[in-house]
Chains A and B, each alone.
Chain A
Amino acid sequence: EVQLVESGGGLVQPGGSLRLSCAASGFTFSSYWMSWVRQAPGKGLEWVANIKQDGSEKYYVDSVKGRFTISRDNAKNSLYLQMNSLRAEDTAVYYCARDHPDYSNYDYWGQGTLVTVSS
């Protein structure tokens, strides 16, 4: 059974940093692109970043470029999102999602972790 379990969310002050983790199991993690998708309170879904199987390609939504860094450790079956210079508008539930191998979508999602940026 595919499982994605996020952790690391919490309350942080504006300008602060946070590192999210996603532990993957039930599939060959190193064979899949992986993504982070967020959802602000009461709002819709927004793709944040994704990373290729070997970490050689990474893409970000414009609003987080230069502030967020996606990475992975295939030996640990783990995905990460380092978030720096956090802003109030980054407040959201952050989901780890597996990219479908043949389609540009997400076939499995974690339960999400809440990041709140507030003073």
Chain B
Amino acid sequence: QSVLTQPPSVSGAPGQRVTISCTGSSSNIGAGYDVHWYQQLPGTAPKLLIYGNSNRPSGVPDRFSGSKSGTSASLAITGLQAEDEADYYCQSYDSSLSGFRVFGGGTKLTVL
């Protein structure tokens, strides 16, 4: 059971827009801690996709955007492409756990 809750899977057709939610609690996202997102392509290491809720590292297309409100955050992907098919993880900081940094369970994005 992950501290942050994500849907197990989402899907969309090429060119469409999809969103992935990440729900936390008052000890992590709701406490004001930043949310970060990672993309993990099949068989590879995770890659930082969004940091500080809505910032993109250099090289990440602007088709990817992040937002946060209350105890939840969202990752939006517009103009879906086949190469976006991957697992996506949200991550934040939790003040109530000795683990400090917590992840969501991951969401598998399928491009139809």
**Which A residues lie at the B interface, using CB under 8 A?**
35, 44-47, 50, 59-62, 95, 100, 103-112
- The answer for the CA separation of A81 and B80 in the assembled complex, in Å, is 39
How many residues of B are in contact with the other chain, CB < 8 A? 26
The residue in B2, B93, B99, B106 that gathers the most chain A C-beta atoms within 10 A of its C-beta is B99
Tell me the dominant secondary structure on chain A's binding face.
strand
In the assembled complex, B36 has its CB within 8 A of some CB on chain A = yes
Cβ contact within 8 Å between B103 and A47 = yes
Assess A104 versus B34: contact at CB under 8 Å? Given A44-B89, A45-B89, A47-B99.
Answer: yes
Chain A residue with Cβ nearest B6 = A44
Which chain A positions have C-beta within 8 A of B44? Answer: 111
- The answer for the CA separation of A44 and B46 in the assembled complex, in Å, is 11
In the assembled complex, B24 has its CB within 8 A of some CB on chain A = no
Which chain B positions have C-beta within 8 A of A111? Answer: 44-45
**Which B residues lie at the A interface, using CB under 8 A?**
2, 33-34, 36, 38, 44-48, 51-52, 57, 89, 91-93, 98-106
- The answer for the CA separation of A60 and B38 in the assembled complex, in Å, is 22
Could you list 8 further interchain pairs (A-B, Cβ under 8 angstroms) beyond the known A47-B102, A61-B98, A108-B48? A44-B103, A44-B104, A45-B46, A50-B100, A50-B101, A104-B92, A105-B51, A109-B46
| Interchain residue pairs A-B with the least CB separation, the first 10 | A105-B36, A109-B45, A104-B93, A44-B106, A45-B103, A47-B101, A61-B99, A44-B105, A107-B48, A103-B51
